[in-house]
């Protein structure tokens, strides 16, 4: 008998602990640094059973300054993935561990936004974490204005937790962000607009020795700060931060606890980042180990 057969017999499904579940609705980023790949690796690292429903495929173009080549997934195929996931793990599935936590990453088009909004409206998720990916590298701000407007109108109101970066926080709040005070004002404004807990990321975009993020949920305001690791943004940092928030919420953390844990997870992942032939490094989700 092989050891594989022995091991699988020894640990039956009923004996294994049932992990918390989390779904990411996101794009594939082919090199594995960002998008659904970063989300799944983060979920796994944090002990959560990860599910990915893909909205698009992004392939960087090394012949064109590593800009994004964006290919949307067919709308019916997006709806099919969400149908399969809900039937397997949704509230009416009879699954022992119910899927009540979802992360939303790159959607990329008004059509996809409508498809996802319809699926979310039909499923009662407790935690809806929105990483409001507004533009892709290679797109000019404003280029995808119809997508930005659809995200704000159809998805933002469904979110319970939002993680805008510097650019997205300016776009969502309408405020110019130059320092912790203006980042805080933006977080407050985005909370007022959405009702969600907000983790607004200053990252390397604000001057000073620390990477500063602001958390605000309507009651608690907390500035999360960690020493900057270099001055250049790392691929997958935003995705992994929101994914870590998602995983912690799925395990039962409060939004503030989830924000604190996620910041620590991402800081360790950036310290242990992975270099490649691309002109940017990727966060390593195994960093905290």
What is the binding site for ligand PXL (CB under 6 A)? 26-27, 29, 34-35, 58, 105-106, 133, 238-239
Residue among 31 and 86 whose Cβ is closer to ligand PXL: 31
CB of 209 to ligand PXL, least distance (A): 24
Residue among 67 and 221 whose Cβ is closer to ligand PXL: 67
Residue among 125 and 167 whose Cβ is closer to ligand PXL: 167
CB of 105 to ligand PXL, least distance (A): 5
Residue among 15 and 74 whose Cβ is closer to ligand PXL: 74
CB of 14 to ligand PXL, least distance (A): 37
CB of 26 to ligand PXL, least distance (A): 6
Residue among 170 and 217 whose Cβ is closer to ligand PXL: 170
CB of 80 to ligand PXL, least distance (A): 19
Residue among 90 and 287 whose Cβ is closer to ligand PXL: 287
CB of 2 to ligand PXL, least distance (A): 39
* DSSP codes of every residue in the chain: --HHHHHHHHS-TTTSPPPPEEEEEEEEETTSSSHHHHHHHHHHHTT-EEEEEEEEEEEEETTTTTEEEEEEPPHHHHHHHHHHHHHHHSTTS--SS---EEEE----SHHHHHHHHHHHHHS--SEEEE------TTSPTTTTHHHHHHIIIIIGGG-SEE---HHHHHHHH-----SHHHHHHHHHHHHHHH-SEEEEEEETTSSSSEEEEEEE-SS-EEEEEEE-SSSS--BTHHHHHHHHHHHHHHTT--HHHHHHHHHHHHHHHHHT-B--SSSS-B--TTTT-
CB of 40 to ligand PXL, least distance (A): 12
Residue among 58 and 119 whose Cβ is closer to ligand PXL: 58
| Secondary element (H or E) of residue 156 | none
DSSP state of 69: E
| CA dist., res. 34 & res. 125, Å (int) | 24
């Amino acid at each position: 008998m092989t050891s594989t057969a022995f091991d699988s017999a020894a640990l039956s499904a009923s004996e294994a602990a049932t992990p918390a579940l989390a779904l990411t609705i996101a794009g594939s980023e082919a090199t594995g640094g960002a998008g659904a790949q970063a989300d799944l690796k983060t979920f796994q690292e944090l002990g959560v059973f990860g599910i990915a429903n893909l909205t698009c495929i992004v392939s960087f173009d090394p012949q064109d300054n590593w800009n994004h080549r964006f290919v949307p997934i067919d709308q019916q195929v997006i709806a099919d993935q969400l149908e399969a996931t809900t039937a397997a793990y949704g509230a009416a599935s009879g699954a022992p561990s119910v899927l009540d936590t979802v992360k939303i990453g790159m959607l990329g088009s008004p059509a996809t936004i409508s498809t996802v909004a319809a699926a979310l409206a039909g499923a009662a998720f407790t935690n809806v974490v929105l990483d409001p990916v507004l533009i892709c590298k290679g797109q000019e701000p404003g280029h995808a204005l119809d997508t930005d407007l659809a995200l704000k109108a159809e998805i933002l109101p469904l979110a319970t937790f939002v993680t805008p970066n510097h650019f997205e926080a300016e776009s969502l709040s309408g405020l110019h962000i130059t320092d912790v005070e203006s980042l805080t004002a933006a977080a407050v404004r985005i909370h007022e607009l959405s009702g969600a807990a907000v983790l607004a990321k200053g990252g390397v975009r604000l001057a000073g020795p620390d990477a500063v993020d602001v958390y605000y949920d309507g009651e608690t305001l907390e500035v999360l700060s960690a020493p900057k690791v270099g001055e250049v943004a790392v691929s997958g940092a935003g995705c992994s931060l929101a994914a870590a928030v998602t995983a912690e919420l799925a395990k039962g953390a409060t939004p503030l606890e989830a924000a604190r844990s996620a910041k620590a997870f991402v800081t360790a992942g950036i310290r242990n980042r992975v270099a490649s032939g691309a002109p940017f490094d990727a966060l390593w989700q195994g960093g905290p180990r």
